[in-house]
Structure 1
Amino acid sequence: MQTLELTETSYHRLLKRQIRKSLPPELAEHSDIQDFLLAVNQAYTEYQDDLTRMELILEQSSGELFKANRELSRIAQEKTEEAAHTSKRLEEVVGSISEVLVQLDREGNFTYLNQAWESITGYPVSTSLGQSFKGFFPTLESRDKLVDILTPGTDTKDETIRLITANGQEKWLGVSLSPYYSNGGHIGFTGTLADVTARVTAETKLQSYTRDLERINAELDQFAYVVSHDLKAPLRAINNLSEWIEEDISDMLEGETKDQFRLLRGRVHRMENLINGILSYSRAGRMKTVREKFNIRGFVDELCESFSTKKPLKFTIEGDKATDIEAEKIALTQILQNLISNGIKYNDKAEIDITVGWKDLGGQFEFYVGDNGPGISPEFHERIFIIFQTLQARDEVESTGVGLAIVKKILDEKHSKIRIDSVMGEGTTFFFTWPKNEAKDI
């Protein structure tokens, strides 16, 4: 009865079905068979448990995979939309670039062009692709330049080439192309094309203006030379005639008449100085002189030694003795000579003190020339740099009024500044800047 109950109630359902179907009752109740059936039942039970656990795991994994798949689908959708947006923005950026982005195959045929090509040349991008780059440049000069640019090498080549647009307009393109290689072989060129018509036109006009200016300056120099010669000749004649007349009638001349003859020759001498001053002013800043490197202290010492006067004269030199400068020495000499000369000429003191100094301001030098003279009233600080302007009557102090005008003109050419510090009755100091690195001549 125990065996029958076990068979009916404890075996796995699959095993019970097989017992009923295949085993006769007497065999099913045999003790050996019972042990075998119990082992099989245990295997079925474990298998069922494993199957249940597997189904649970698969169910959980399936849910996780579903969620992951849904998340991946969402991310893929976002990335696709982002890529599409980026691609659109890239197309817009490329389309808005004013320069032509170009790609050529090794034979020089267009394989890529952006919309700027059509904007600049008027030729549609769609019909230009596949065509030879050389075909758009009809002149022999332009073709020769392109042959050089489209020669394979390692460096980027730049050239300015004239092009005739689709509507017959002449334009200049700045072409910059670089060869590119793949697997060691040359397969084409990449680069840019830019519309440089405005720049080329401006350069052409500038060259024309430069030639005109050089011609005008040459004519001006010639004119100044001729005028100087033609004006000085009669002045010398007047001076000589006055001396001859004075010699011929010397026994008839009295004190006032002699003074008039002296005044006449003085006016002739002043007129000659004015002519020389005008010539110097017209040439100031225009004469090309060589830049040279020299020591400032030695230069100033040599310059101060060239001055002399009837009054006691003392020079005070201030500045770093080791400072060197590279500059147009002649122009700097003109400035310092005029400032020192004025400090001596207009000095009202019994003993003349002149101070010359310099400072390194980093990007430029500052020079200064001071004197112990009468000083300059503030209302004249600008006027004294105007040509022919003098603070004292020329009959009191002989002056052309050109020296400071030359100083100002030279400094204006150098984009430098000059200022005045003056105390009435105590003296005046002129400060001016000088570029440390002057622009090289082109």
Structure 2
Amino acid sequence: MQSAEISETNYHRLLKRQIRKFLPEKLAADPALQDFLLSVHQAYAEFQDDLVRVEHILEQSSGELFKANRELSRIAQEKTAEAAVSSKRLQDVAASISEVLIQLDKQGKIVYLNHAWETITGYSVAESLNKKLTDFPVAPESKESIEETLNSSEAAVKGIFEITTADGSRKWLGISLSHHNSFDNQIMGHIGTLADITDRINAEKKLKSYMRDLERINAELDQFAYVVSHDLKAPLRAINNLSEWIEEDLAEVLAGDTRDQFNLLRGRVHRMEGLINGILSYSRAGRIKTASERFFVKPVVDDLCETFSTKKPIEFVMEGNPELEIVSEKITLTQILQNLISNGIKYNDKPQIRITVGWTEQESGLEFFVSDNGPGISPEYFEKIFVIFQTLQSRDEVESTGVGLAIVKKIIDEKGGVIKIESTMTKGTTFFFTWPKNETKKKDTAT
């Protein structure tokens, strides 16, 4: 009965085959074995269900992986195409750059050059790779310059060297290099640029030559101006002396008008001598350098104001930081202030003269001003008064060479400063001018 039940049970196909093959009918009918076989059958059934589920999951996962792989392949193709386009673009940019792009390894051998190398030197890129810059025909001093540049411990270095190109001409190249580091910050070599600076070097040489010529010409002009002024003054002094002698010899017979004419003659002689001195001073203004020194501004202005005297009462007013100290050409600055103050006194029409001298410290330098309470200057004459020999009043009214303000402007222009005017008719005039507060720094920057 039990055997029949076991044989009719729908065991798993593998288990059913093993029962028929190895178990006798009597053993198969054993109740304990039947329970065991049913348990095995149940395990087989559960395993089959799990296997079906796993196969389903694997099929789904495989589909998703296939989709993901296909998407990754598409993205990879797009990125590869973009990289190719970017690489081509970079190559085109590198080829179009007028400067040479260069990369060197740790031994100084060239590992990369763009097409500009061929344009500038005439040597092909292919034959230049794996060579050192010193392998090309460069001057001995240029070899030293290249080696110093490459052996420098600085992260970024610059230098220049002269090279003979493929066609035999000589060119100056400016080199600018930086360390080329690996991902772990190890120095792999150098990367940078080479630029053709031949035109600049030639221009600098010409400029130096012009400067030497200019210095020579200026020296000759100084000598010429000195000789001419001396030669011109000699006959003027003779005329002055002769007029005095004649006046003394004819003192008893000279009438009043004739005596006035002799005085006028000597006045014109003195004016001519003043004009000659003015020309000499103007020719030297801004070119004759005086030593820079450290000084306080206020004492200089105080001492300067004490040198002026006139029949009219004068009031001097100071406006500025009394503790301001500068490094500058003291004599030159004093000359400018003296000219401006002198003009404010000479042309003043008020019974009491008031002169204000002020200074303010600014970030870019100093600004001085000299103000008077005189007749004022009409705006149409603002530019004219700085032209040499130009005066607003007749020299017969106020004796003047017309050189002072021209010298002032020339010196200020040479210092890189600016001079300007503010004036109100009948109330007065103010001259403003800028001045470097530390000429030592200015000269260091210029060099």
Report the TM-score, using the length of structure 2 for normalisation: 0.89
Going from structure 1 to structure 2, the CA distance change for 1:85 and 1:187 (only over 3 Å counts) comes to closer
Going from structure 1 to structure 2, the CA distance change for 1:34 and 1:122 (only over 3 Å counts) comes to same
2-structure distance, mates of 1:37, 1:94: 81
Residue pair 1:108, 1:134 contacting (<8 A) in 2 also:
no
SS in 2 for 1:111: strand
1-structure distance, mates of 2:344, 2:149: 63
Residue pair 2:2, 2:29 contacting (<8 A) in 1 also:
no
- Shift of residue 64 of structure 1? 2.9
Query: Does residue 1:90 correspond to 2:90, yes or no?
Result: yes
The aligned amino acid for 2:153 is T
2-structure distance, mates of 1:234, 1:3: 162
1-structure distance, mates of 2:180, 2:207: 37
1:98-113 aligned within 5 A: 98-104=98-104, 108-113=108-113
Q: Deviation per CA, 1:174-213: give whole Å up to 9, x if none.
A: 1345677999999765443221112112211211111111
User: Identity percentage over the alignment?
Assistant: 66
- Shift of residue 308 of structure 1? 0.7
Instruction: Point out where structure 1 has 5 or more consecutive residues left out of the alignment.
Output: none
Structure 1 stretch 69-78 or stretch 228-237: which is displaced more? 69-78
- Shift of residue 430 of structure 1? 1.8
1-structure distance, mates of 2:148, 2:362: 49
2-structure distance, mates of 1:381, 1:275: 25
2-structure distance, mates of 1:188, 1:426: 73
Query: Does residue 1:411 correspond to 2:412, yes or no?
Result: yes
2-structure distance, mates of 1:27, 1:107: 89
Q: Deviation per CA, 1:374-413: give whole Å up to 9, x if none.
A: 2222322221111111122112211111111111212222
Aligned twin of 1:128: 128
1-structure distance, mates of 2:106, 2:55: 64
- Shift of residue 138 of structure 1? 4.7
Aligned twin of 1:286: 287
Residue pair 1:110, 1:128 contacting (<8 A) in 2 also:
yes
The aligned amino acid for 2:403 is V
Going from structure 1 to structure 2, the CA distance change for 1:165 and 1:387 (only over 3 Å counts) comes to same
Residue pair 1:137, 1:143 contacting (<8 A) in 2 also:
no
Going from structure 1 to structure 2, the CA distance change for 1:430 and 1:39 (only over 3 Å counts) comes to closer
1-structure distance, mates of 2:319, 2:187: 67
Report the TM-score, using the length of structure 1 for normalisation: 0.90
Structure 1 stretch 410-419 or stretch 74-83: which is displaced more? 74-83
Residue pair 1:118, 1:125 contacting (<8 A) in 2 also:
yes
2-structure distance, mates of 1:41, 1:290: 116
Going from structure 1 to structure 2, the CA distance change for 1:407 and 1:84 (only over 3 Å counts) comes to same
Residue pair 2:315, 2:354 contacting (<8 A) in 1 also:
yes
Aligned twin of 1:58: 58
Residue pair 1:153, 1:179 contacting (<8 A) in 2 also:
no
- Shift of residue 311 of structure 1? 1.6
The aligned length equals 441
2-structure distance, mates of 1:148, 1:433: 44
Aligned twin of 1:15: 15
1:120-269 aligned within 5 A: 120-149=120-149, 152-155=151-154, 158-177=158-177, 190-269=191-270
- Shift of residue 112 of structure 1? 2.5
1-structure distance, mates of 2:65, 2:416: 77
SS in 2 for 1:359: strand
1-structure distance, mates of 2:19, 2:293: 122
SS in 1 for 2:326: strand
Going from structure 1 to structure 2, the CA distance change for 1:328 and 1:54 (only over 3 Å counts) comes to same
SS in 1 for 2:38: helix
The aligned amino acid for 1:124 is S
SS in 2 for 1:406: helix
SS in 1 for 2:377: coil
Aligned twin of 2:276: 275
Structure 1 stretch 407-416 or stretch 272-281: which is displaced more? 407-416
- Shift of residue 3 of structure 1? 4.5
- Shift of residue 126 of structure 1? 0.8
The aligned amino acid for 2:43 is A
Aligned twin of 2:117: 117
Residue pair 1:297, 1:321 contacting (<8 A) in 2 also:
yes
RMSD of equivalent CA atoms: 2.7
Structure 1 stretch 341-350 or stretch 9-18: which is displaced more? 9-18
2-structure distance, mates of 1:185, 1:26: 84
The aligned amino acid for 1:120 is I
Residue pair 1:338, 1:404 contacting (<8 A) in 2 also:
yes
1-structure distance, mates of 2:37, 2:426: 138
Going from structure 1 to structure 2, the CA distance change for 1:180 and 1:364 (only over 3 Å counts) comes to closer
- Shift of residue 53 of structure 1? 2.8
- Shift of residue 219 of structure 1? 0.8
Aligned twin of 1:73: 73
Query: Does residue 1:386 correspond to 2:387, yes or no?
Result: yes
Q: Deviation per CA, 1:91-130: give whole Å up to 9, x if none.
A: 3333333332333456654333222211211111012223
Instruction: Point out where structure 2 has 5 or more consecutive residues left out of the alignment.
Output: none
- Shift of residue 132 of structure 1? 4.2
